[in-house]
Amino acid sequence: MNNIILIKNAELYAPQRLGKMDVVIAGGRIAAVGNDFNLAGSNLPVTVIDASDCYLTPGFVDSLVHFIGGGGEGGFATRTPEMQLTDATLGGVTTAVGVLGTDATTRTLTNLLAKAHALDSEGITTYCHTGSYEIPCRTLTGNITDDLILIDKFIGVGEIAISDHRSSQPTTDEIRKVAAAARVGGILAGKSGVVSVHMGAGERILLPIYQAVAGTELKLKQFYPTHMNRNRRVFEAGLEFATKGGVIDFTTSTTDFDLQHGEVAAAAALAEALEFGIKPMQLTLSSDGNASLPIYNDEGELLGLQVGSVQSLYQSARQAITQHKVSLSDAICSITAAPAAILGLKQKGRIATGLDADIVLLRRDDLAIDTVIAKGKLLVQQGEALVKGTFER
């Protein structure tokens, strides 16, 4: 059962800065936000948290995670492992969106959906995208529109791969059909119907999206390209896309090899995009957690492989603040309000009365994660997991 929780005297970032506030949580929701609340005489079972030393932010929203692992670019032994509950919670993530990846043959939507339900019952909120890297997309019911209407957890489609040697080299028409199906499914189900786009390192960059939108009623804003910090050219193409009104996503999981070979670190990308004049609500970070991070040489041969980490989401936001002078509010926006908005998650990503009680307390001195509350339940306190996944020790 969820207790009533009273958080006292936190410096509140909703994600906009609201100053010193108290927050009351009841029934899994934010019941009240204000000053000087006192429930001492109420005779209710209340847990009081003194947060005078903390910033209070919304729980983090990770818009792209491979819940059931991904990859396999180096053969079966390189298929990456599943995510566990504390991979998310110890990194402040209380909402995550699961996707398939390069491999939609041995990784399936049924398995993804089952894992999403498991993580949900363990404590966080999960959603998924239907579809796959390849087009025609893998679906559960045989049809993207039906998947979005009939399956609660499906909120969009993707990540579909473009400008990548691992893509299905989709035609303009194929991309149009996917976006149109997601649009109709989204409208009828009251969901975003967003098209998550995996951006490869190919020369064409966003051209396939522009070609798909041209001459149709599709909107650029329905496409949500990720890995837009993959290299300098892709990053600059992303700035242009955002200038036209789109939302772009930077991937926080990385390797030293990638950073030495032209990847723009997500924290630096966020700082530079803000400096360029892109609005905070058009910039998001996602972890690409549990993805494979393959390292290729110029001939396309696989040199090695690492695993993406959900906790890199928080680490990159922190780095943006501490090393790149991004304001706390803007950095937090990129992992809360901005992804929640593009994904159409109205109960998530902000602190306001009536919204889901997903909350992170960051220590003011070092920005370490102290407390994580998801759906009104304390999952992390003093940086330690109070709740673990079913098979975690």
Contact residues toward Zn ion (CB under 5 A) are: 159, 198
Nearer Cβ to Zn ion (17/165): 165
Nearer Cβ to Zn ion (11/73): 73
Nearer Cβ to Zn ion (198/318): 198
List the beta strands (DSSP E) in the chain. 4-13, 17-26, 29-34, 46-50, 54-58, 60-65, 93-98, 125-130, 154-162, 194-199, 223-226, 248-251, 283-286, 292-296, 302-307, 359-363, 369-374, 377-381, 384-385
CA 27, chain centre distance (Å): 25
Query: What is the rounded CA–CA span in Å between residue 296 and residue 375?
Result: 41
Task: Please state the closest distance from residue 91 (CB atom) to Zn ion, in A.
Answer: 19
Half-sphere exposure of 40 (CA within 13 A, CB side): 4
Helices (H), 244-333: 256-260, 266-276, 312-324, 328-333
Task: Please state the closest distance from residue 291 (CB atom) to Zn ion, in A.
Answer: 6
Nearer Cβ to Zn ion (89/132): 132
CA 196, chain centre distance (Å): 11
List the beta strands (DSSP E) in 200-301. 223-226, 248-251, 283-286, 292-296
- In angstroms, how far is the first alpha carbon of the chain from the final one? 23
Return the residue matching tokens 């209070």.
56
Task: Please state the closest distance from residue 238 (CB atom) to Zn ion, in A.
Answer: 14
Task: Please state the closest distance from residue 211 (CB atom) to Zn ion, in A.
Answer: 20
The answer to whether 147 is a known catalytic residue is: no
Query: Of the residues 288, 330, 356, 358, which is catalytic?
Result: 288
The pair of three-digit structure tokens given for residue 51, joined into one six-digit string: 């947060």
Task: Please state the closest distance from residue 105 (CB atom) to Zn ion, in A.
Answer: 17
Nearer Cβ to Zn ion (230/375): 230
Three-point CA angle 68, 92, 336, nearest 5°:
95
Nearer Cβ to Zn ion (153/198): 198
Return the residue matching tokens 């304001």.
327
Specify whether the CB–CB gap between 9 and 18 falls below 8 A. no
Q: What are phi and psi of 112, to 5 degrees?
A: -60, -45
Specify whether the CB–CB gap between 151 and 130 falls below 8 A. yes
Q: Which residue is nearest to Zn ion (CB)?
A: 198
Catalytic residues: 288
